[in-house]
Structures are given as structure tokens and as C-alpha cells.
Amino acid sequence: MSIGVTAGGGRANRYQVQRIPLDKVAKLKFFSQRNDIRALKVKDFKARCRALRNNPESEIYLLSLADQQILLLLVANSLFKAQTYIDILLLSELAKQAEVEAALAEFIYKQSLNEVIINSPFSLKLDGLTKVFKALEGSFLYHSYKENFNPEQNRIIRRGEWYLVMRFNRSADALTGLYLLAEGQSCPELLQPIFEAQGLLNQAGKIQLLPNYCDQRRRLEPLQSQVETEITEYLSGNRQDFNLPYELPVDAGEFQLKVWQELAKIPYGSYCTYEEIARRIVDPAEANKYGRAVGAACSANPLMLILPCHRVLGQGGELRGFMTGVKTKAWLLDHELLRYR
């Protein structure tokens, strides 16, 4: 991949973009020693440096203001020809969110990266990025999921200690989202609008279990009853496969779709690793470079259980991130007789 170097990046050279050669990646550690920088843990940073040396398709960029104030350090890695994965390694404590969003938007736009997945270990919220990017007349894949989220096309039911969120298309004849969440966990940003509307979030933003909760809105039939029946059977151990119609996002990238197709093939009661998924999609000799990209596609999976991303583990069987929490992932694996809790 060759993204190229943009001098100035923004209007009137507002943002500076510096590409850092891969052979100097080890020298980046000096950034993490500054008090005004949030960085990965040392062991995670070293692991990322090792991965970069083995991945010639990765490019490192330092984004800063014209006055040399550092905003963030990122790695850009192409996934096929249309999609780019951006991993944020360092983030300035002094930078305002609006500046970070504007710099990222300019970077994405200037490099003509129309399909982008952004990963940040610093809980960086990019609520305004889509708006900024639209002003530049661009498109932004990853955050379009939040933008298109309509609480009125969703329903919530309670099943024991769980809340099941069902997202339907406009005609209510296919699922476009399915999520399982437990009491006390932080609510994913994508699902906050519907949980807030139903009064299911406490002051700390965590999900609270209301004993007599019932979604009083009109049921979206007949599909809602079918979903409720099949998920209830699954949770009680009486169902292993689902017969539910669903639609995938029309703006999903090629790599995401390929990962999701592989997820659908993982049988109940079994599991595989992120690298094994990658081997089925890309050249097996290059698969070790795509583990994180597979993880990003899994985290964007809109149909839990139907596309069982909880059955994908790290090397050695360790649990990795999960949209509705690692504890939920462990419970699902345990429920399917995989003792990885």
C-alpha cells in the first residue's frame, strides 16, 4: 500500500503529516515517555512494533498541528484495495477532540481512503468525525453504522439476566442487528439511543436490569416472535442453529463480508482463531498479518449469535475483545460447552 505523504494536510497547512519509516519504528518509544501523551502499555507497544516490522503494507504517520503540537500517531494498513485499517498508537493529552477529528478527517480525505476502520485503545470518541468528513464530501464506512441507527426499528426483550436487542429493516421482514447484553455492563455506543429511550441505563451509563421491564411499543411481527422464540430456545440449550432472515449492511467492505461469511461456518460447540479465519480469506503465508483486521471485522459484526463471532479466539485460546463485553463472550462459550471462562 502506498498512501503517500501529504504536506500540510488541512486548510492553510493547518495539519502536518509526517510519514515515519518502518526501519525507525523502534525509536517511536520516546513518544510514550512524554507526560502529555497517552500511549499503549510498553509490552503492547513493543508487540505492535514487532508486528509492523513483519508487515510491509503498514505505514506510520504522525499527525500534528502547524505549530508542531502532536495530535496522534497512527498506523495505516490496507485491506484489499478499497479498505484501510487505522490503528491509533499514541494520542495527545492536550489535543481537543475536535482537532483530532478534523485532522483524521483531513488525512482520510486527502489520501482518498473511502472505506476505513479505526481502532483506538484510548476510548477515543469520534462522534463528530462523520459530520466533518461529510463536509469534505467523503464517505466513512465504520461510523456509518452509528449514523444509520434508528431506535424505532429496534426492540428490546428481557430473558432472565439478559437483554436482547433486535434491529429490523424498514419492512420488518429481516434482521439487520442482534445483540445480547447483561446487567451492569457498559452499553456500547451504538446501542445507547435505544437503551436510553427505554430508561435502561443508570447514571454511570451501565445497563440496569428492571424486574418488570417490558417494551410497550408495537411489536414488529411476525419476525419478532420468531426471533424471540429461537433466541429463548438457544439460551435454554434447546437450539444450536438459527433460521432467521437477515440483511448485512450495504456499505460493508469486502474484507468485512468475507470475515462474516466465515463466521457463519463455525459450528456450535467449536471455535477457531483470528489467524485461522485470515488463512481462509488471504494468502495463508500472509495470514499472521491480518489477525487484528479479522478482530476489527468481528467487532463490527451486527448479528451476534447468527454470525457467531464469540467462537473466535486468540492464539492459545485466550479471549479477546467483544462488542458486548468479554464476560458475555465467556458465558456464550461456556454455554456451548467450551470451558474458556
3-state secondary structure of 266: coil
Cβ-based burial of 185 (10 A; exposed 0-12, middle 13-18, buried ≥19)? middle
Section 109-129 average pLDDT: 68
User: pLDDT tens, 129-158?
Assistant: 666 666 655 554 443 333 344 556 788 988
Q: 304 with 325: CB under 8 angstroms?
A: no
CA-CA distance, 20 to 218, in Å (whole number)? Answer: 55
Cβ-based burial of 238 (10 A; exposed 0-12, middle 13-18, buried ≥19)? exposed
Q: What integer pLDDT is reported at residue 292 of this predicted model?
A: 81
User: pLDDT tens, 179-193?
Assistant: 999 888 888 877 887
Of 49, 187, 298, 309, which residue is the catalytic one? Answer: 309
For residue 186, report the phi and psi dihedrals to the nearest 5 degrees. -70, 140
3-state secondary structure of 10: coil
Q: 177 with 164: CB under 8 angstroms?
A: no
Its pTM stands at 0.62
Is 309 a known active-site residue?
yes
Q: What integer pLDDT is reported at residue 312 of this predicted model?
A: 93
CA-CA distance, 132 to 105, in Å (whole number)? Answer: 7
Biggest CA–CA distance in the chain, Å, is: 63
**What are the cell numbers at 50?**
514487532
User: pLDDT tens, 308-326?
Assistant: 999 999 887 778 778 888 8
Q: How far is CA 160 from CA 35, 89, 180, in A?
A: 46, 40, 12
Can the peptide bond before residue 222 be classed as cis, meaning omega within 30 degrees of 0?
yes
User: Which one is predicted more confidently, 290 or 226?
Assistant: 226
Question: pLDDT at residue 13 above 60?
Answer: no
CA atoms within 13 A on the CB side of 294: 30
Considering the chain, what percentage of its residues have pLDDT values greater than 90? 20
Q: What integer pLDDT is reported at residue 322 of this predicted model?
A: 83
Section 70-83 average pLDDT: 68
Question: pLDDT at residue 90 above 60?
Answer: yes
CA atoms within 13 A on the CB side of 251: 15
